[in-house]
């Protein structure tokens, strides 16, 4: 935090406000520094959604892998030996022309950390958690995703034990691309299911 | 607070879904610290999610009205403001304590050499 701090410059006002809250709450025994640090560490050491994008790209190119992924995602993803995998079960759900899957955690912010990294702010937000269940199509439209009325929208509610990874539909115009190129089309949001994969025509120079 | 569930619904309807890009969820450490404090106070039972959403929702709505956007920084500035308010509402800290301590940290940061950890001295408290 002190990286930009020069001798004689006061810290930014927001930093002073946060330090004031933290030091007073710690002194009153209302929070513990170690517990705060542990929570922040967990959030900051993000894996990033690139892991998940690799999984999806392989599923797009390797039908056998996709089959294994859909049958037992925890075991199939173990083939990548990503670190930080926790004990929870991972379930992969595939988007098709008939079904669009979207993931939420209505209770808190359960999220498939090993493949997607940190949950985005909006995923943790109460309005998303509440509204995506009540009116998934309206929420998808806010993310720029308009689905045909004939497409069924399935909302999956994560728990501490079961986390979901959406396999978005492989975009048109991507038939000649290799796994690395395809992975670049797989955004974090598409693996939560609020958007579709990125179209190769919109990826400049990829 | 007549019905917690009703209050929560009301609060949620006022709060827009914040958006971010594929980048890190926290731009700066203070955002993570503010976030973590609220999570821990909530876990400890100091306030309910419904109570938080009520106060946080007011901050978000006010920031939106002022046209401050819904980016990460604006979102966590609202978060911080809500945290400062809820510790007062819940009689955990007074605003006077917070303002006094802020000045102490400001003085501590002014007298600390670059590269050294900024710490309060005994006389600050």
Domain CATH number, residue A169: 3.90.330.10
Residues A29 and A86 in one domain: no
Q: Which helix (H) or strand (E) holds A164?
A: strand A162-167
Predicted confidence at residue A48, as pLDDT, reads 61
pLDDT digits (tens, 9 = 90+) for A160-177: 568 899 999 999 999 999
- Which residue range(s) make up the domain with A94? 50-202
What is the domain count for chain A?
2
A199 is catalytic: no
Facing B92 at nearest CB: one of A28, A126, A142: A28
A2 is a domain residue: no
Could A130 and B118 be called an inter-chain contact, meaning their C-beta atoms sit closer than 8 Å? Answer: no
Give A164: exposed, middle or buried? Use CB within 10 Å, 0-12, 13-18, 19+. Answer: buried
The rounded distance, in Å, linking the Cα atoms of B29 and A22 is: 13
Could B46 and A30 be called an inter-chain contact, meaning their C-beta atoms sit closer than 8 Å? Answer: yes
Residues A86 and A20 in one domain: no
In a structure prediction context, what are the per-residue pLDDT tens digits for chain A, which is 206 residues long? 334 444 445 678 999 999 999 999 999 999 998 888 877 766 555 446 778 999 999 999 999 999 999 999 989 988 887 754 444 688 999 999 999 999 997 755 567 766 786 677 778 776 888 889 999 999 999 999 999 999 999 999 887 568 899 999 999 999 999 999 999 999 989 999 999 999 998 765 43
Facing A40 at nearest CB: one of B16, B32, B97: B32
Residues A93 and A155 in one domain: yes
Predicted confidence at residue B23, as pLDDT, reads 46
A4 is a domain residue: no
A108 is catalytic: yes
- What confidence category does residue B116 fall into, taking pLDDT thresholds of 50, 70 and 90? low
Predicted confidence at residue B120, as pLDDT, reads 76
The rounded distance, in Å, linking the Cα atoms of B55 and B58 is: 5
Facing A121 at nearest CB: one of B46, B72, B97: B72
pLDDT digits (tens, 9 = 90+) for B50-107: 788 788 878 877 877 776 655 677 778 988 999 999 999 999 999 999 999 999 999 8
Predicted confidence at residue A145, as pLDDT, reads 96
Q: Which helix (H) or strand (E) holds A166?
A: strand A162-167
Q: How close does chain B come to A28, measured CA to CA in Å? A: 8
Domain boundaries, chain B: 34-111+119-125
pLDDT digits (tens, 9 = 90+) for B13-47: 444 555 455 444 677 778 888 988 988 898 899 99
A120 is a domain residue: yes
Sign (positive or negative) of CA dihedral B76, B80, B85, B87 = positive
pLDDT digits (tens, 9 = 90+) for A48-83: 677 899 999 999 999 999 999 999 998 998 888 775
For the beta carbon of residue B115, count every other beta carbon within 10 angstroms: 10
Question: Which of B33, B57, B84 is the best mutation test for A, with the most CBs of A within 10 A?
Answer: B33
Residues A40 and A74 in one domain: no
């Amino acid at each position: 935090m002190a990286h930009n701090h020069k001798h004689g410059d006061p810290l930014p006002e927001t930093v002073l406000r946060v330090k004031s809250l933290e030091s007073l709450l710690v002194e009153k025994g209302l929070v513990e520094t170690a517990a705060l640090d542990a929570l922040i560490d967990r959030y900051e050491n993000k894996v990033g959604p690139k892991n998940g994008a690799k999984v999806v790209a392989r599923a797009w190119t390797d039908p056998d892998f996709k089959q294994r992924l859909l049958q037992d995602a925890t075991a199939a993803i173990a083939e990548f030996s990503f670190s930080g995998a926790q004990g929870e079960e991972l379930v992969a759900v595939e988007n098709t022309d008939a079904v669009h899957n979207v993931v939420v955690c209505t209770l808190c912010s359960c999220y498939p950390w090993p493949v997607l990294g940190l949950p985005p702010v909006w995923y943790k937000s109460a309005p998303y958690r509440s509204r995506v269940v009540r009116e998934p199509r309206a929420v998808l439209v806010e993310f720029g995703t308009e689905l045909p009325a004939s497409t069924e929208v399935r909302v999956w509610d994560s728990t501490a034990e079961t986390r979901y990874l959406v396999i978005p539909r492989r975009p048109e115009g991507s038939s000649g691309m290799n796994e690395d190129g395809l992975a670049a089309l797989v955004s974090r949001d598409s693996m939560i299911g609020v958007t579709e994969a990125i179209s190769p025509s919109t990826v400049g120079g990829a | 607070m007549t019905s917690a569930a009703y209050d929560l619904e009301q609060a949620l309807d006022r709060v827009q879904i914040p958006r971010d890009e594929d980048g890190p969820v926290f731009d700066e450490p203070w955002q993570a610290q503010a976030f973590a404090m609220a999570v821990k106070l909530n876990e400890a039972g100091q306030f309910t999610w419904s109570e938080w959403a009520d106060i946080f929702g007011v901050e978000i709505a006010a920031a939106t009205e002022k046209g401050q956007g819904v980016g990460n920084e604006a979102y966590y500035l609202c978060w911080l403001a809500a945290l400062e308010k809820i510790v007062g509402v819940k009689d955990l800290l007074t605003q006077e304590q917070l303002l006094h301590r802020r000045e102490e940290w400001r003085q501590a940061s002014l007298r600390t050499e670059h590269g050294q950890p900024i710490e309060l001295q005994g006389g600050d408290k």
